[in-house]
Structure 1
Amino acid sequence: MDFFRNFAQNFHPSLSEDTFKQMLAFLSIRHFPKNYELVSLDEKPTYFYVVKKGIIRSYNISSKGKEHTKTIYTPTMTSGNLGALIKNEPSKLIYECLTDCEVLQCNYEKLYELSLKNHEVSIFHYKVLQSVYIREESKILELQMLNATQRYKKLQKQLPGIDNLINQYHIASYLNITPVQLSRIRKNLIY
């Protein structure tokens, strides 16, 4: 589990070997195919995930049936409906693999229970939650402060080759624009 060790040490560099072993007890590496739903709408989630390989998205569906991509998750990012996990309630988001994915699957309740008993796990848990909050706040600010072209260029910089990895309508939805707008932006950037 070198992948998890590296991930954990990014958040808590002094995590002890004993604590690391305790956390390994409720972690597993899983493989999921493209289009697999890690969490379905109105399902009570049990796990959160750390993406090792592949791309996952979270999205909801409007009353008119339109999909709205909230977040795109790439390697080393945590994924899973944290709000539903914390509140122990059904998910209002769908989590879908956009490519074949390899993830580290973690039972959230067991991690939380261990964090109540183990200060190191509590610090790790807190730091992961901090990073999720900062990531989500940054996305909200981008939508408010950057125009669509700027958001697209930023996405391309963060995820080189994204245009060849996932469908354009997923990118457009994530950027909060239509596929036609994305096509125009791409055309303008080429010329």
Structure 2
Amino acid sequence: MKDTFVHDFCKIYMNDISQESIDKFNNLLSFKEFSTNEVIKVDPLKNQKFYIIVDGIIANYSQDEKANKEYIRAILFEKHVFINLTGLDFVEHISTDYYKCLTKVKFLVGDLNDFFNLAQNSVELFNFIIKLNHVSIYYLQNRLDRLSLLDATNRYKILKKRIPNIENLIPQYQIASYLNITPVQLSRIRKKMYSI
């Protein structure tokens, strides 16, 4: 199962990647499972990991410690890759970021330094890292555009298109947090959408 998943994952990002490069990438990865509500804690200054979601839903949280509030920045699911950058010195953080499993989640986990070292000897894997970075930036830009350009109803419709059964997987307050609205506002949006 792991080999097939990694092959399909690599082909999504680089259709012409060779089987040799896929096998090298696959050898970097180990399988992990996390329970619902489990928080992924990584110290990026010591041991930076990257994660590929095999199954389940995870959220990137931002916590305003002064206001004692949590906000969901992103909801990620199957075949998404992410890196926890919390703790890097070059930016002053106004919030604490972390990843939390909203459901039971299966991951493939690799060491980022090992990936970079491998890519130094392979143009193909170096290009693969660049593609992964481009996609991450693209998703971030899309998220910012949606927050600034779309109303909550349209943001909710996009989320439903990405994860049609989202209401059956995570609580309403988490969906509302991701949409940057209150649970009451989400209830009104859902009532209006489904009463038509």
TM-score, normalised to structure 1's length?
0.90
**How far, CA to CA, are the matches of 2:73 and 2:41 in structure 1?**
14
Counterparts in 2 of 1:17 and 1:82: CA distance versus 1, 3 Å: farther
The answer on whether the counterparts of 1:39 and 1:80 sit within 8 Å (CA) in structure 2 is no
- Asked if 1:129 corresponds to 2:130, the answer is no
The answer on whether the counterparts of 1:56 and 1:97 sit within 8 Å (CA) in structure 2 is yes
- Tell me how large the CA RMSD over aligned residues is: 2.2
**How far, CA to CA, are the matches of 1:187 and 1:60 in structure 2?**
29
Q: Which runs of 5+ in 2 are unaligned?
A: none
- What does residue range 26-175 of structure 1 map to in structure 2 within 5 Å? 26-39=28-41, 43-44=43-44, 46-62=48-64, 63-82=66-85, 92-175=96-179
- Provide Cα deviations, 1:104-163, integer angstroms capped at 9, x if missing partner: 112111111212221111011000111111011001001111001111111111110101
Of 148, 157, 180, the match for 2:184: 180
Q: What's the CA shift for 1:82?
A: 5.0
**How far, CA to CA, are the matches of 2:37 and 2:149 in structure 1?**
32
**How far, CA to CA, are the matches of 1:185 and 1:31 in structure 2?**
34
Q: What's the CA shift for 1:81?
A: 2.2
Secondary structure of 1:117's counterpart equals: coil
TM-score, normalised to structure 2's length?
0.87
Alignment: residue pair count: 187
**How far, CA to CA, are the matches of 2:130 and 2:19 in structure 1?**
19
Of all paired residues, the percent bearing the same amino acid is: 33
**How far, CA to CA, are the matches of 1:92 and 1:119 in structure 2?**
36
**How far, CA to CA, are the matches of 1:21 and 1:56 in structure 2?**
26
- In the alignment, which residue of structure 1 is the partner of 2:11? 9
- Counterpart code for 2:56: G
